[in-house]
Chains A and B, each alone.
Chain A
């Protein structure tokens, strides 16, 4: 696929699995629901369970690679970086419970449960949010995305703005590239000092902006001339509607919610890892 294609087309994974067939609204609700739950509880093991379920769905839907990659890049280094700092004496003011000792350069340092729990739970909460959101995004193609937003009563102009951004990015990126090549041909070099780098940046960004603003003018009058502002209900290429599959999925979420509510009340906010209370969940 070449330069002109929308970013949205390049990121959607088309496959014939039930995940793709689920209504966009259900998948979006799943993202919100899972994220809220892991923020209510404070339990890294619970987070891992949610993550595992989502990844299983992703594997089935053939979209696990981008998700795994994102989590690997964002969450894993975060945990590796945050845990040592937070779990050791200096990094976290609420450290109280020592769960072990670690030997660094000959000295024994205590490892605290509070810092460790904090350093692991928060990144995993994000991992759940990332994976569920990406699952929605990667399995919902543009037509279905538009239909989903339409059914959620987004104003049409807003739908346009979302979709158009995905289309404009590759177009502007290609133009930026052309301008950069032109400036390099005129002698622009990147191995220069701070101030010159800013000047280089301006030498690309200013022409790009002017060109982009010109396009805005033309596109706006073209849209108007093709009935964009007509006060009628727009015809979409795809109509979103719930099927038995969607209802089954929703019912499952409802049952799990009920179960988890029971767990929260009778067992606590950290049912599996038993992390102590700090200042909030």
Chain B
């Protein structure tokens, strides 16, 4: 059975016209918390009215995700003092005589990750591409079947060995985290792998368009056979993303017994990568197979006029939209450190023409990356994070020596009680250390995508703004703690602004932008975000203690000051929310703060103006005592 890429059995509410939208209820169902926010139109656009947050109710004893949404809406009703739900606890839609809202937007990351097996010919080529496409959604790769066949169109034995080598060196993602390789598996092993894991989907890639055919056919045949041997109720579907010229044969070969979807070849030629449709298929599959099957989700689907998006997908839309809206020449980054997963979405402006092996780079040259660290979170994901990252790497961000087993106890317990909050400073710092490592891991993958895309090479793009969300950041007792976590993990360069998404509306606005861009653009300035401040991060070679930057600041109201910034230091200057200042930066020779001509206007925030002269990449001393002292010093310098 071949499934159309647009297939969906869900029925959505009718889409209202833009001018009819007076109020928007945005909801994000996360793994641990469900957040709802109300935005209402006033003369100048939308304004943020109120917010409520309750634990998500997808798991027993409730097992009904809509219950949490209704509880959150009830809480919101208690704040705004006007009815949103009728006597059957159904949302009034559209707003009528002060009851209900005009638009309901839902994003969700509470579903189980999509369980997949990836199959392809060459581990480092088509399978790496599949793996990169899979990283754009909540996906758990259960196993990899690799034939390790080198495409006959450009194998090393022929005349294209240079091309192969170049691609292998570009694909640093695969080198950083070896695939669960299934190279050399017998057909029986392949069948056993699929039967044992019972994935939701087996993805098959391999062969350039017009290239290898026989090995691809063999692979598909074995995969299809394995799928038919799985009980019908849990039989995996197959998504074919290989040699496009074989599509009709593949459809015939697989027949009716296994659900088949065909997407563009992820490697149409050896030196080009086309992930767009594969990514979209991964995201769609997650929504259709996981989110829409959450208990209680059917109720909510009826309230929304737009397709439900995963939180990561919606954040991807947001950064893409913002990059085009601001057109500042800088990139936009949105990070979400969640309970179960960590997501980083970026949109970078064109730098140089995208290389053929580019990861994304659409027709406008904009590089769009979306990286989901599935299972890398600081709630439900904390035990998995501990297992994958290790206690040493997390522990190095602590200013104290943890007791034996202390880090493990805190993080394993957090996995059991993901909504619990730390009551003492040690546990708080352990959670924040875990958040740094979750974010650093996903950020490193993002950088690899940038590098693989070409154009950016070793240069780190400047970002404006960096939007951050997720409980560990937005509920940090001091905003400066959130800033320090972001600085330590993202390591921005040049001048940037940090913005916090305290109510979890970023994803919902990304989802709104898909169908109601006008509403989304107005809602962006609705007051739902919190500016943390401006960050200046000079880069270049300098010895510790050398003056790397002279800064002259003229505050809008309170005079000015001049400071010298030394290499290795972290400075925090007061610049309150709503205040402006004019800053003149004089970097030392060999030090850069980006392309700046003349004085720069900067805006204040909850933290103010931060100058991070610790250098890039950030290096922690190998000696643990020195490392602890340095981490403590940074916490002091940031008042964190």
Do A and B assemble together? no
